[in-house]
Amino acid sequence: MEGMTLLVTGGAGFIGSNFVHHLLERYSDIAVIDLDMLTYAVNLANLSDLEADPRHTFVRGDICDRKMVDRLFQEHRPDMVINFAAESHVDRSILEPDVFVRTNVLGAQCLLGAAREHEVERFLQVSTDEVYGSLGPEGLFTEDTPIDPSSPYSASKAGADLLALAYNRTFGSPVLITRCSNNYGPYQFPEKLIPVIIMNCLEGRPIPVYGDGMNVRDWLYVGDHCSAICRVLKRGRPGEVYNVGGNNECTNIDMVRTIIRIMADRLPDAGIDESLISFVADRKGHDRRYAIDASKIASDLGWEPTTSFERGMAETVDWSLENRGWMDSVISKDYLNYYDRNYSQR
Ligand code: NAD
Ligand code: DAU
């Protein structure tokens, strides 16, 4: 990727900001144009260490704004586009679905149109295993599993995937899709399960576990997701979908207990124990189990995750303890309203 210009959308968010750092740590001769609207889910502090880095240009803007997007393409002539920008939280999509369709579907279409006109070499749509719907107790999602989304969030992501594949078939656009399982790591907004657990341990607040806590997710350290995306950008075949997973299935209740144990170990006097666990009403349309078969990206592109769950989780907890200021700064009025709306009805 040396010598290239990459347009990264959503590069201030959780995975996007980790990805931008991942790139800049590895490539000295690279230009990253970072287009992000800075929604509620973002703290610009995620990128503050890059303020003086000439390889990184931050642009605040909306991926649905075609005129602005065209201007960006004309000015910077990106070789590749990586689309992370999205509304990303399932519970919010149940409360307010409209913005999910706008950003996730219309935004992807806008970028696909501009990328086609400006003839980029690669367009990578960052997608999710949630497009496949829910698994029973057995089996894994492969790239051939039919799309069967359950939430407005996953339906909007599936819509974007279908558009991207249609651009490849109809116009020959060099589109690649990655479908990844649940990420965890630094800079994750505390509306998702793992930072909610960590934050509530720190605040001594109840940890809300939906339903019976036996839903299963396949957890992947965010740094491994970033390396998978780089691998697909470099070696992936246009028109192909690549599943990305951590081989790390865990029930939600086991995850909660594990993090409580780690937190209690780090802060023995803080009164952190399982009495914080609070079972609450289930999420509507809650997918029971996700598990990824990542054998295609392993055999075709030679990618496998390298961060063990123990190491990744210890690093995540330690980062959260060392960055209490970051955690506190994302707790806005909007966040508190959302927290109240989502949890008070349960
Ligand atoms: P996030 O919510 O932390 O970040 C999304 C970013 O997109 C934010 O910086 C936000 O400001 C930006 N954005 C939203 N609307 C925009 C718009 N209209 N124009 C420009 N920017 C806009 O989400 P995340 O967890 O980092 O997820 C990033 C991508 O990865 C998403 O596409 C998501 O669907 C996908 N994904 C996430 C996970 C996960 O576990 N978090 C797993 C698989 C796939
Ligand atoms: O699988 C990939 C997806 O993972 C991404 O596409 C999404 O962007 C990302 O948000 C994530 O979706 P999930 O819905 O799986 O993640 P979340 O952290 O919201 O929830 C994980 C599990 O924990 C899920 O079964 C719901 C449950 N949960 C979640 C929260 C926030 C709880 O039990 N309590 C909670 O408070």
For 150-198, write each residue's pLDDT tens digit: 999 999 999 999 999 999 999 999 999 999 999 999 999 999 999 999 9
325 part of a folded domain: no
Average pLDDT over residues 90-106: 98
Asked if residue 243 belongs to a domain, the reply is yes
Is residue 346 situated within a structural domain?
no
* Confidence (pLDDT) at 101: 98
Residue 31's domain is classified under what CATH number? 3.40.50.720
Q: 221: CA distance to ligand 2 center in Å?
A: 15
Quote the pLDDT of residue 256: 98
Kindly list the protein residues whose Cβ atom lies closer than 6 A to any atom of ligand 1. Answer: 9-10, 12-16, 36-39, 41-42, 62-64, 84-88, 103, 107, 126, 128, 157, 180, 182-183, 189
Q: Give the pLDDT confidence score for residue 186 in this predicted structure.
A: 97
Mean pLDDT for the chain overall = 97
- 166: in domain: yes
Q: Do 207 and 190 touch, CB atoms closer than 8 A?
A: no
Confirm whether 184 is domain-assigned.
yes
Residues of the domain holding 83: 5-189+220-249+288-306
Number of folded domains in the chain? Answer: 1
Per-residue pLDDT, 121:
98
Q: What ligand 2 atom has the least distance to the C-alpha of 192?
A: 18
pLDDT of residue 44: 85
The reply to whether 227 falls in a domain is yes
HSE-up of residue 207 (Cα within 13 Å, Cβ side): 28
Closest CA to 168 of 232, 241, 106: 241
pLDDT tens digits along 33-78 = 999 999 999 988 899 999 999 999 999 999 999 999 999 999 999 9
**Percentage of residues of the chain with pLDDT beyond 70:** 100
Q: Is residue 137 part of a domain?
A: yes
- Please report which confidence band the pLDDT of residue 345 belongs to, taking 50, 70 and 90 as the band edges: confident
**Any residues with CB less than 8 A from the CB of 167 and at least 6 apart, and which?**
112, 116, 123, 173, 175
Encode pLDDT of 129-140 as tens digits.
Answer: 999 999 999 999
In a domain, 342, yes or no: no
User: Is 10 a residue whose pLDDT tops 90?
Assistant: yes
